[in-house]
Structure 1
Amino acid sequence: MAVINPYQTYQDNSVNTATPAELTLMLYNGCIKFIGQAKKAISEKNIEEKHINISKAQNIINELIVTLNMDIDISTEMKRLYDFINQRLIEANIKNELKLLEEAEGFVIEFRDTWKEVIIINRKRQHAQGGLV
């Protein structure tokens, strides 16, 4: 008989019921988490763990890139910024430099915080208009 992990079930349900905006927020949070784990791995000189976590962060940045709506003007700028973050992650992976990871992390944190504000503003607007939150 299979053992059911309630935490995994909760996570699966969270992802399956999240709005596109909430999924983007989850991606930002995941990227920040993996960069943090990579920073820890560098400080512990654990090269394999560093590489794994930087690769996960890069995968998230790549997902953010492919989901951009290029019909919207700001998407071109966002793609450039995501490419810059990706380049910093690559360099950090090659050079084992915390400074490069911290630079990438700073951008992702800023994007995440801005995205949170957008979600809050949209929810308030929908609520004011009598829509569902």
Structure 2
Amino acid sequence: MGPLLRELPIACTEPGLAPAERRRLLGVINQGLLPADITALQLPTARDPRPAAACRLVLKDLSQPRTLTWPAGRVGVGERQLGRLLLAEFGGTCPEWRANARIFQAMIELSEGATVTQAAHRCGWATPSAFIDTFTRVMGRTPGSYRR
């Protein structure tokens, strides 16, 4: 996205902007976004086999709360070392990666027809309201609106 296209949404929010001008700006935005390359949404995968194996273990059952100790012991690496490996691979902590994985899986569940409550429980939230709050904060919309 070029600098002009980044500034256009800001320009559309200017107070006193005439409706016709807003429509023209939105047309330019739409035209600029049309050629965008659309790729499949996917979770990043680790290149190092140790954090990759740990991530696969966690992904097998997101409904279970897991500390870093659990996958670390199963892939033969210390908890602190696994934490450092995840930070190097993904630029974040294990809880951050797991939260992203849970949201990603919830998106899949919802798009396949699961209710908000079903998606919440399958992806490890204790309550649907906690899931709705997290999903809305991360995705900018409620899980119900995403499901529709």
TM range (shorter): 0.3 to 0.5
- TM-score under structure 2 normalisation? 0.30
- TM-score under structure 1 normalisation? 0.32
Structure with the bigger RCO (C-alpha within 8 Å, sep 6+) is 1
